[in-house]
Structure 1
Amino acid sequence: MKRNMDLIKEIMLAIENDDFKAEIEGYNEQEVLFHKKLLIDAGYLNGITHNDTSAARPTVAAAFIKDITWEGYDFLELLKDDEKFAFLKDIGKKLSLEALKSATKIAITTALT
């Protein structure tokens, strides 16, 4: 499954509004669960995931989100800025998770100065 920055933005906005439900309009449950796992793995959300390993290809069976991390709130501010979001969306297609996180930190630092 490919990383979808639009879905990541929708999930972060929903959680900011205390909407922890699994459904995001226009996306299936597996897509949402996978992206919640990505956000937890990136350190933007506090939570846990459970994988279903009974299938040939393991999938995320459940994601339990506790809250947004400090770094997650900084990331969310970038997602809310259309110009910065377009930049992140573009480079997100080309970078690894660690490189994307580094680019996000640079964008946050630049926005604060």
Structure 2
Amino acid sequence: MAEANLDAYLTVTMINPTTRIQVLKKDYSNQYQPFLVDVVVRLCEVIEKRNFIPYAVMTWKLLKRFSNINHTCPYSGQLIVRNSYMPADLVPQFPHGFYQFRFTYSDSNATNSEYLP
């Protein structure tokens, strides 16, 4: 099991944060290859219960449990994630193997999209 910690200060307000959720599986050559899941979700829609994609709901439960992100959009200031891990009850059953979960956060609006450092 691996834990993740994050301590960030947002210099620009996140108005419409989006998350790209990817699941990668280690193959025979020790490389991680895409495996079944590659979705992009808008977090505000999930938080406001307008989007029920299972992986988006799973991400929201993780953020709510391990971070100070516990309200609707927009977000600004200090963001903290402490001792975050992937609980077994949230992960669907996958075949045996090694997996990597990749979460890429960005902020998008009608005119541009920026990756969050």
**TM-score over 0.5 for the pair:** no
Larger Rg: 2
Which protein has greater RCO, CA pairs closer than 8 Å, 6+ apart? 2
Whichever structure has more strand as a proportion of its residues is: 2
TM-score by length of 2: 0.29
TM-score by length of 1: 0.30
Whichever structure has more helix as a proportion of its residues is: 1
